[in-house]
Structure 1
């Protein structure tokens, strides 16, 4: 190939090293931005970001896109534009294979919506390869789950859910208009998994049903006609967080008329129902799976790297793979130990953010010939949004394993700050401020939910 981006390693002896980052999620895009604007702009390294999609959307906001509270088109970031602004290259494609000996990453062909090839399969040489490919839904082998339960991994899936939800509400509203004297068969939405994602989605859907009834579906009675179940296999919701926070969240979900089922294991998922391990059958018009994540299956096919039981790449304290010091992994796809223990850091945006900051500094030190310290995670706390019902915040104090818990307006403010912090790391202060003002103006002039 004539494009200098694909010059083989053997022919680049006098060139600067090439750092290839695969995955433009919360961590990958931030790492590319930081490295591009530092070592890239200084000519110390060539930074390349690879992603199968042309745009970025912050994954923690997917539940807002799924419920219609956020239009993804207003919050996506064009990788090509970000690359031009901050001194790195963008290549679209999906990682298929890694030749660790030759240091070659093979990218799959890019197809359009009709399956027509836009870009062919390509080979991208690298000096250092950083895997930031995120996670996928873990269905835990439950029969029918992968076929009939909707995951929530990207914008396309969020939009698919939103369209199904909107269509179900329109149908229920029509039946209520045609037969006002007869009770309407409720729309049954089952959210499997009551971690932060499941709780936030359930709360957002209740508010969405209320807003749709107020704006468009006048005959729809949300509390009666839209039945939302939140189903958790553990003894309580939010099992990874403080029990006091879980208790508060449970109570607030009850006030939102969301049915919470705990200690319930899913045995099977069908197109119109789910079956529990105890033999109960729950009707379901829409089932969404938020019960767990794992590393993408493609990680088993590339580079023969060591993986854990959750299909995550095992890494050292410097986020390098023990199999190859030229391959790094971080974020949801990496099994990084917590404080030197056997526990793995959870798949959270703040983990990926801190690891991106660490890697940008460690690459700069490595290029300067300096020593590299290991990564240390500092828990900044967890915020769980309950939509217009507020939010809950928890942070470990480190004193006798006690936690600080905040709710109400203060926690809601913290939740909004998280996304602004993400934008700040990508755009800087001025552009983030302008974007925030634009969001505020849209909020005054447009409905708080997508109505079509």
Structure 2
């Protein structure tokens, strides 16, 4: 077993201490993994390989916009293969299925496309340093019927699937002569954290764009009815109570039904049942509650994990049982320096950890020590679609904690995505594409209808 501070072998190294073409393998092409691969790929003394099961990358906090149809996916997708070629790393498609820490091999399952064609075989990818950045997924807590009857928003494919079901529901309602059933055009979102709240707000916008008064005259209730269900006593429980109350008020005044203190006992076809016995008919149910890492991490050759399947890491982001393996982003359980809890699974943490390794990994490979990573909380921002944006900026940014709403908050929210784009593409391309988007005339619907 490797000691806590041991480093990979430097046999065959060149002057300067870094081995010739040291192999860095990054598993997971989300925000953290892709940003790190982009940065390390510029170092010509590193052979960087990125492994992901998808062909393209979309920033995960944007999935609710894709699901609601309010974002043009093609303008925000990053193709891994072309991006890798441009930034000096290698992309391999497939899903990690195992790990051999002695031989230093990552096992990758065969890749089968959407039409069932087997594209790549099962294979092993060798590494000298491994970075695991496979993100997180929803935690359904074993709730009955979730796997079968509820949609999730964990990937681009999930968001596209939701949008297709949503549009089909609208087409179905518009085509029928009689009145709608109780479940038709009713959406239940289970979990009122950031994803659930932002999805509810975007769906409200979709309903206004897609369904009109003429449809209502035909069948009596041609509008989306959105129910947002939260088990705790307020929505956005991770935010200050003042912001939760502001968001709750905005959503309620817009006609969204907000249920707090409401735990779900089962999700059935056509309805959601609460633990107090109430049932809410729903044509589409979405599970957006809870977070955990993929179960695969518990099987990776003995690496230490916690109850949420996250890999336990030291402040250097090295896994506790193998210092040549790092974990970053939502799949890493990294204790805060003050010992008060773990770094939260948020986009800003993933960005910071990718930047940390981009700065310090080369000195580790050369035999140096790593400084501890320190999480900086810049606050939280939640988009409420056309209504507003609410959030708080922490004292490290503005000198004191500050609550923000409205236009300024919306600009700050958009800047988070710009930071991700800058990490991938640089200032010149981001400025050029931002200008192009702003100048492109909007002549049609704001919602994607196909």
Per the alignment, residue 4 of structure 1 pairs with none
Shift of residue 443, structure 1, vs aligned partner: 5.4
Aligned counterparts of 2:434 and 2:348: Cα–Cα separation in 1: 21
Long gaps (5+) in structure 2? 1-8, 14-18
Shift of residue 212, structure 1, vs aligned partner: 0.8
Shift of residue 338, structure 1, vs aligned partner: 2.0
Stretch moving more, 305-314 or 183-192: 183-192
1:271-298 Cα shifts (integer Å, max 9, x gaps): 1111111111111110001001111111
Question: Does residue 140 in structure 1 map to residue 145 in structure 2?
Answer: no
Question: Does residue 294 in structure 1 map to residue 292 in structure 2?
Answer: yes
Per the alignment, residue 95 of structure 1 pairs with 96
Q: 1:19 is paired with a residue of what secondary structure? A: strand
Q: 1:28 is paired with a residue of what secondary structure? A: helix
Per the alignment, residue 357 of structure 1 pairs with 355
- What is the TM-score normalised by the length of structure 1? 0.91
Long gaps (5+) in structure 1? 1-8
Shift of residue 221, structure 1, vs aligned partner: 9.6
Per the alignment, residue 5 of structure 2 pairs with none
Q: Do the aligned partners of residues 71 and 220 (structure 1) sit closer, same or farther apart at CA in structure 2, a change above 3 Å counting?
A: farther
Per the alignment, residue 285 of structure 1 pairs with 283
Q: 1:162 is paired with a residue of what secondary structure? A: helix
Shift of residue 20, structure 1, vs aligned partner: 0.4
Q: 2:386 is paired with a residue of what secondary structure? A: helix
Per the alignment, residue 51 of structure 1 pairs with 52
Q: Do the aligned partners of residues 398 and 90 (structure 1) sit closer, same or farther apart at CA in structure 2, a change above 3 Å counting?
A: closer
RMSD: 2.4
Q: Which one of the candidate residues 22, 25, 36 is aligned to 1:17?
A: 22
Aligned counterparts of 1:442 and 1:398: Cα–Cα separation in 2: 37
1:393-445 Cα shifts (integer Å, max 9, x gaps): 2123379x974111011111111111111101110011111221232234524
Per the alignment, residue 414 of structure 1 pairs with 412
Per the alignment, residue 3 of structure 2 pairs with none
Shift of residue 306, structure 1, vs aligned partner: 0.9
Q: 2:393 is paired with a residue of what secondary structure? A: strand
Asked whether the 8 Å contact 1:213–1:219 carries over to 2, the reply is no
Asked whether the 8 Å contact 1:135–1:296 carries over to 2, the reply is yes
- What is the TM-score normalised by the length of structure 2? 0.91
Shift of residue 305, structure 1, vs aligned partner: 1.0
1:328-375 Cα shifts (integer Å, max 9, x gaps): 001011111123315122211100000000011110222344432100
Q: Do the aligned partners of residues 446 and 34 (structure 1) sit closer, same or farther apart at CA in structure 2, a change above 3 Å counting?
A: farther
Question: Does residue 61 in structure 1 map to residue 62 in structure 2?
Answer: yes
Aligned counterparts of 1:216 and 1:23: Cα–Cα separation in 2: 47
Q: 1:389 is paired with a residue of what secondary structure? A: coil
Shift of residue 217, structure 1, vs aligned partner: 5.6
Q: Do the aligned partners of residues 221 and 396 (structure 1) sit closer, same or farther apart at CA in structure 2, a change above 3 Å counting?
A: farther
Stretch moving more, 408-417 or 368-377: 368-377
Aligned counterparts of 1:443 and 1:412: Cα–Cα separation in 2: 21
Q: Do the aligned partners of residues 360 and 10 (structure 1) sit closer, same or farther apart at CA in structure 2, a change above 3 Å counting?
A: closer
Q: 1:225 is paired with a residue of what secondary structure? A: coil
Asked whether the 8 Å contact 1:192–1:230 carries over to 2, the reply is yes
1:98-156 Cα shifts (integer Å, max 9, x gaps): 10011011111111223221110111110011000001121100011111110101111
Asked whether the 8 Å contact 2:170–2:185 carries over to 1, the reply is yes
Q: 1:388 is paired with a residue of what secondary structure? A: coil
